[in-house]
């Protein structure tokens, strides 16, 4: 067995799990509770992935303080009632187990706040396979790159050519570009909606896959 990578970093929303239902229910609740306009399907989808405050400012045109207030309402609804309204990606546990059995280190690198993502990983059993987990922190403006760096430092890896990031949006791809690690895109997630020509030509993008099981021969050569 030959390892092409020592580390696989996983995005959460849209990659490890389909969390769309819980997120969108919470976004709709927040808009209604605050007397905001009803969102189109395209607009509401933009709340999946990046921090809520980022999307609130873009979609509703609010300032920092109002975005923070909306985010508090959203997170209370999501954490208390909608967090576990999610479905693991088909075959993802089989893939993670095979990686672990072959001594591949695995980390969670998600924009989702840690007070949501950590219970989610424990509830569904992902933490059995993850060596490290990092996510967003309310009040800290961490980028996806910052979160990935935290994982890599904890795993004590200094060769970016041995790191593979797996994600479903341009945020995951661009963070990989900033770090210089390899990237594997998944087509079954929430979508690459804003790719530039620079993004499309990143030389360390391996491919985009439709089935998570296609990751195994990319990481491990038998």
Identify which of 36-45, 90-99, 194-203 has the greatest average pLDDT: 90-99
- What dotted CATH number matches 20-82? 1.10.150.240
Fold agreement between 2-18+87-221 and 20-82: no
CA dihedral 178, 218, 214, 199 (to 10 degrees): 20
User: 28 pLDDT exceeds 90?
Assistant: yes
Mean pLDDT over residues 192-200, rounded? 91
pTM recorded for the entire structure: 0.91
pLDDT for 121 equals 98
C-alpha–C-alpha distance, residues 8 and 96, integer Å = 10
pLDDT digits (tens, 9 = 90+) for 33-71: 999 998 888 888 888 877 889 899 999 999 999 999 999
Mean pLDDT over residues 128-152, rounded? 94
Q: Decide which of 3.40.50.300, 3.20.20.220, 3.30.56.10, 3.40.50.1000 is the CATH code for 2-18+87-221.
A: 3.40.50.1000
User: 102 pLDDT exceeds 80?
Assistant: yes
Mean pLDDT over residues 185-192, rounded? 93
pLDDT for 123 equals 98
pLDDT for 221 equals 85
Mean pLDDT over residues 120-125, rounded? 98
Q: How confident is the model at residue 110 (pLDDT cuts 50, 70, 90)?
A: very high
3-state secondary structure 7-35: EEEECCECCCEECHHHHHHHHHHHHHHCC
pLDDT for 80 equals 93
pLDDT for 194 equals 83
pLDDT for 203 equals 97
Helix 64-77 and helix 20-33, axial crossing angle in degrees, nearest 10: 120
pLDDT digits (tens, 9 = 90+) for 154-171: 999 999 999 999 999 999
Domain boundaries, the chain: 2-18+87-221, 20-82
pLDDT for 193 equals 81
Mean pLDDT over residues 186-200, rounded? 92
Mean pLDDT over residues 183-193, rounded? 93
pLDDT for 1 equals 65
């Amino acid at each position: 067995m030959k390892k092409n990578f020592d580390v696989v970093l996983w995005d959460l929303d849209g990659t490890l799990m389909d969390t769309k239902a819980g997120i969108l229910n919470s976004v709709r609740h927040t808009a209604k509770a605050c007397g905001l306009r009803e969102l189109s399907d395209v607009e509401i989808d933009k709340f999946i992935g990046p921090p809520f405050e980022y999307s609130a400012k873009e979609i509703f045109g609010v300032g920092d303080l109002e975005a923070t207030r909306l985010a508090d309402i959203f997170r209370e609804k999501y954490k208390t009632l909608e967090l576990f309204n999610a479905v693991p990606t088909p075959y993802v546990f089989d893939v993670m187990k095979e990686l672990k059995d072959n001594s591949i280190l695995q980390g969670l690198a998600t924009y989702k706040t840690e007070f949501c993502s950590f219970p989610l990983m424990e509830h569904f059993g992902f933490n059995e396979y993850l060596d490290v987990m990092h996510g967003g922190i309310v009040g800290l403006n961490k980028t996806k790159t910052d979160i990935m760096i935290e994982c890599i430092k904890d795993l004590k890896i200094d060769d970016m050519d041995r790191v593979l990031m797996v994600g479903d949006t341009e945020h995951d791809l661009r963070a990989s570009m900033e770090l210089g690690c390899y990237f594997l895109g998944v087509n079954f997630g929430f979508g690459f909606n804003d790719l530039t020509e620079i993004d499309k030509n990143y030389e360390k993008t391996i491919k985009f896959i439709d089935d998570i099981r296609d990751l195994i021969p990319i990481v491990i050569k038998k």
